[in-house]
Amino acid sequence: MIDFLVSVFMIKPINLFECESLAKQQLSSMTWGYYSSGALDEITLKNNRKSFNNYQLYPKVLVDVSQINLSTKLLGQTLSMPIGVAPMAFQCLAHPHGEKATAKVLSDLKSLLILSTLSTTSLEEVAACQENNLRWFQLYIHKDKGLTKALVERAEKAGYTAICVTVDAPMLGKREIDIKNQFTLPEPLKLANLVTLKDLDIPNSSNQSGLFAYFQQQIDPSLTWKDLEWLQSITKLPIVLKGILRADDARLAVENGVKSIIVSNHGGRQLDGAITTLEALPKIVEAVGNDIDIIMDGGIRRGTDVFKALALGAKAVLIGRPILWGLTVNGEAGVNHVLELLKDELLLAMALSGCPSVTEINDSFLIKS
């Protein structure tokens, strides 16, 4: 009914919080729980959002802001705005068009999409939806290195321009709502990138979530920096690491030939009590400077949040859950609306702060509370 009202009467959420509220009314309790929950007591999940309140904006005046330039570059590719989409599994739980709808929007907006290994649409189908190649493939390194190699080769062949390795999930964080709901993929949804391998589907489990069982069975917990050498030996694509929170790990990433890092705590879904991404960002920027492209995700709900992340040194940010809310509410149009809301809010924040270009945003525009 809500989807009908949005489509027919053009009722649109005016911010991401309204979009979240509408999505909650439409999703099943199992899907809502999977999308919205964090690990254990959800301390990190909540603090990701709260951390933005620790910084006040410090605007300049009498600056010509008649023209605002939102463009930025990641790995040499130009994005129309410093806002991309984080890798998120199982988007067809939100809408039948799932990852394809999200991909089409990012293609139209000329910004970055990172596709999850655990997508419900194959990486080839998603690539076919995009006219530009601003797409990276997120990789979980499986115990079966042959499978991992095959995924990398498929991504390279399909025109993905980077491999984004998730490094903060050697084991799955304990998400109690998923355990309570015994989360699994409902029929007919499948792990589309692994559809030919029946034993790699999300299993049913009577005492834990199916995703937890999958990680126990398939994801390699022995992954170390040495494995990056193997990965680099099988692909010419640049390697991005997602899940960096420490400055020393960021330096190691540079030393090991990584081209970009994503400062991320997995949306508060892994180690509960971990530092927030906004808190982690300044020390990482100080440690690696301009040696590597730094991206950040976690808790972003307003254009001013994007501005603060950029001011602390991120070149771009990634949005996760809000994309799922938009997808739920109105499919492709809903995803577009979410990103346009953030884009417009960022433009306004830049104008009111006296900052006409993304490249001019720096920490002089912030005061820590």
Task: Please state the residue numbers annotated as binding site for glyoxylate.
Answer: 34, 140, 175, 266, 269
Which structure tokens are listed for 342? 């953030």
Annotated binding site for FMN: 87-89, 116, 138, 166, 242, 264, 297-301, 320-321
Strands 77-79 and 72-74: antiparallel
Active site annotation includes 266: yes
Which structure tokens are listed for 139? 């990789």
Q: 281 phi and psi, to 5 degrees?
A: -60, -50
Annotated binding site: 34, 87-89, 116, 138, 140, 166, 175, 242, 264, 266, 269, 297-301, 320-321
Q: Which of 95, 97, 142, 266 is catalytic?
A: 266
Cβ–Cβ under 8 Å, residues 355 and 365 = yes
Q: What is the CA radius of gyration of the chain?
A: 20
Query: What is the rounded CA–CA span in Å between residue 204 and residue 31?
Result: 15
Number of Cβ within a 10 Å radius of residue 50: 11
Helices (H), the chain: 2-9, 16-26, 29-36, 43-50, 98-109, 123-128, 145-157, 176-181, 210-218, 225-233, 247-255, 277-288, 303-311, 321-353
Instruction: Give the catalytic positions in this structure.
Output: 266
